[in-house]
Structure 1
Amino acid sequence: MDTTQQNSTAWDQKVEEGSKYTKPVSREVIEKAKKDEWSISVTTEKQVPRHWFPESLKDVKILCLASGGGQQAPVLAAAGADVTVTDISKKQLEQDRNVADRDGLSLRVVQGDMTDLSDFEDESFDLIVNPVSNLFVKDVHLVWKEAYRVLSRGGVLITGFTNPLLWIFDDEKEREGILDVKHSVPSSTLDYMPESDVEAYIKSNQTIEYAHTLEDQIQGQIDAGFVLNGFYEDDFGGTRILDKHIKTFLATRAVKA
């Protein structure tokens, strides 16, 4: 199966369905960003600490990685950065174009896979912003290696990802308030699905997701050459039973050594 194509189609469908993560920021948010009143998220609820960014974004070369949807990239562009946004979903990138056209922003948009940034030369960017998205790729190490390659020396990677604990419970029961340990990590969406259901799942244009270990998420960045110097946790915003017990999203700040 071509997982990239499957997830590209699935995210195009999410745009059509109006998923929370496909809704672009408002004109008001952009106007504030132009006045240096801005913040973005790479998880679900919490905003990235402002001190994780340069004091001024003017002319800072930023890659918004797997970040389509008209949320992070337009805000950073409005704040003065030189922004490129890449994503596997054409319709997600259209959301960024729409905001740029609406609010007079300059954005470069490139459709592509986060594990293969061959469209970009070595050391092309000063900063990478990568919202929760590497759950859609099988080998997260490729993401870290490519991010390291395209960052300039001393460049920063800000990324959000899922706590592996989120994946071990039966998802449907967890939504009903029941914590039933069912899955292992690492694993994928299809690993525990009855074979008879797989074809229908694929045809309905659903995403294929991968549960990565913390070692792959954190040590993977270190192995790629990064030095981590920032960390925080986040949750679903109180909408899931797990929010009462533990944070299910993580964010790190890493520097290219």
Structure 2
Amino acid sequence: MTEISRTVTEDDTRRANRAWWDLDADEYQDEHGTFLGDVDFVWCPERLREADARLLGAVRGKRILELGAGAAAGARWLAREGADVVAMDLSAGMLRHAREAERRSGVTTPLVQADALALPFRAGAFDIVCTAFGAIPFVADSAAAMREVARVLRPGGTWVFSVTHPMRWVFWDEPDESGLIARNSYFDRSPYVERDEDGRLSYLEQHRTVGDRVRELVAAGFTLRDLVEPEWPEGHEEIWGQWSPLRGRLFPGTAIFVCDLR
């Protein structure tokens, strides 16, 4: 059962998403693990890789936090590039897959289970914080998450995160022609939720406009250096959920915010 809900609390959000990702971790990795790799940093379903984009800049010797790391393929890639990396996620199920991938790859990083709204690190602990679709879309108070990231970054540090492009909120999450019809208001910030057969909240995702994101960042002390909207690459025919060649060639599916702490 799905809905757009106006009555979901932060505690509801945390419980639902932790339970969802714990239960879905195996299926998610079965479906997407090959695409993401064991030691790689893929920013989005458009297949933009950090090895090519270098949105984080030089990482060798840098102290980096991958927030909402999932199975932590990105963190392991950064470690192999010479960074000092911590991988953090809310889901024990996803971190279990991170540990399994460490055994396969031989690349290890510290793994931390924690909430993006209460990062268990001292102020100024990191040079870079990054996430590819982690944490930010799943917290009710994303402005508070931005402030937490700012707290653990040193002055001048870098914060880069990818999310579903806000304009996608206008369309249903369908990869075919039915996903080309505008049906929802871009300006409706009510979260998308799913409930189980007993009516319990089982999944939740938040929407913010581009302007909302910019205001959150500026209020937290960041300067927005770039907003990357990856184009769908030629020859990429794989469908990932709502992402497909049909939709990707017409409008963006991912927004990547590249920021510096003032």
Deviation (angstroms), 1:139: 1.4
Helix, strand or coil for the counterpart of 2:197? helix
Please give the residue correspondences for 1:24-43 in structure 2 after superposition, counting only pairs within 5 Å: 25-26=37-38, 30=39, 40-43=41-44
Alignment-derived partner of residue 214 in structure 2:
218
Question: TM-score, structure 2 length as denominator?
Answer: 0.79
Task: Determine if contact 1:40/1:75 at 8 Å carries over to the other structure.
Answer: yes
After superposing the two structures, state which structure 1 stretch, 67-76 or 168-177, moved more: 168-177
After superposing the two structures, state which structure 1 stretch, 40-49 or 209-218, moved more: 40-49
Q: Does 1:200 align with 2:197?
A: yes
Distance 1:233 1:16 in 2: 29
Distance 1:169 1:201 in 2: 27
Distance 1:98 1:156 in 2: 29
Deviation (angstroms), 1:103: 3.1
Task: Determine if contact 2:56/2:160 at 8 Å carries over to the other structure.
Answer: no
Q: Give the count of matched residue pairs.
A: 237
Distance 1:51 1:70 in 2: 18
Give a deviation string over 1:78-97, Cα, whole Å, max 9, x none. Answer: 21111111111111112222
Helix, strand or coil for the counterpart of 2:203? coil
Deviation (angstroms), 1:240: 6.1
Q: Does 1:188 align with 2:188?
A: no
Give a deviation string over 1:37-65, Cα, whole Å, max 9, x none. Answer: xx62332222245443343x333111000
Give a deviation string over 1:157-198, Cα, whole Å, max 9, x none. Answer: 1111122221122335966455141345212113xx8xxxx4
Q: Give me the CA root mean square deviation.
A: 2.7
Alignment-derived partner of residue 167 in structure 1:
169
More helix by share: 1
Distance 1:101 1:243 in 2: 35
Alignment-derived partner of residue 71 in structure 2:
69
Q: Which runs of 5+ in 2 are unaligned?
A: 1-10, 237-242
Alignment-derived partner of residue 11 in structure 1:
21
Q: Percent identity?
A: 24
Q: 1:178 to 1:100 in 2, by over 3 A?
A: closer
Amino acid at match of 2:103: D
Alignment-derived partner of residue 2 in structure 1:
12
Q: Does 1:136 align with 2:138?
A: yes
Q: Does 1:228 align with 2:224?
A: yes
Distance 1:201 1:58 in 2: 49
Task: Determine if contact 2:64/2:85 at 8 Å carries over to the other structure.
Answer: yes
Distance 1:233 1:120 in 2: 31
Alignment-derived partner of residue 125 in structure 2:
124
Task: Determine if contact 1:227/1:256 at 8 Å carries over to the other structure.
Answer: yes
Q: 1:67 to 1:123 in 2, by over 3 A?
A: same
Distance 1:177 1:115 in 2: 33
Alignment-derived partner of residue 154 in structure 2:
152
Question: TM-score, structure 1 length as denominator?
Answer: 0.81
Q: 1:216 to 1:4 in 2, by over 3 A?
A: same
Q: 1:215 to 1:107 in 2, by over 3 A?
A: same
Distance 2:247 2:197 in 1: 29
Alignment-derived partner of residue 256 in structure 1:
261
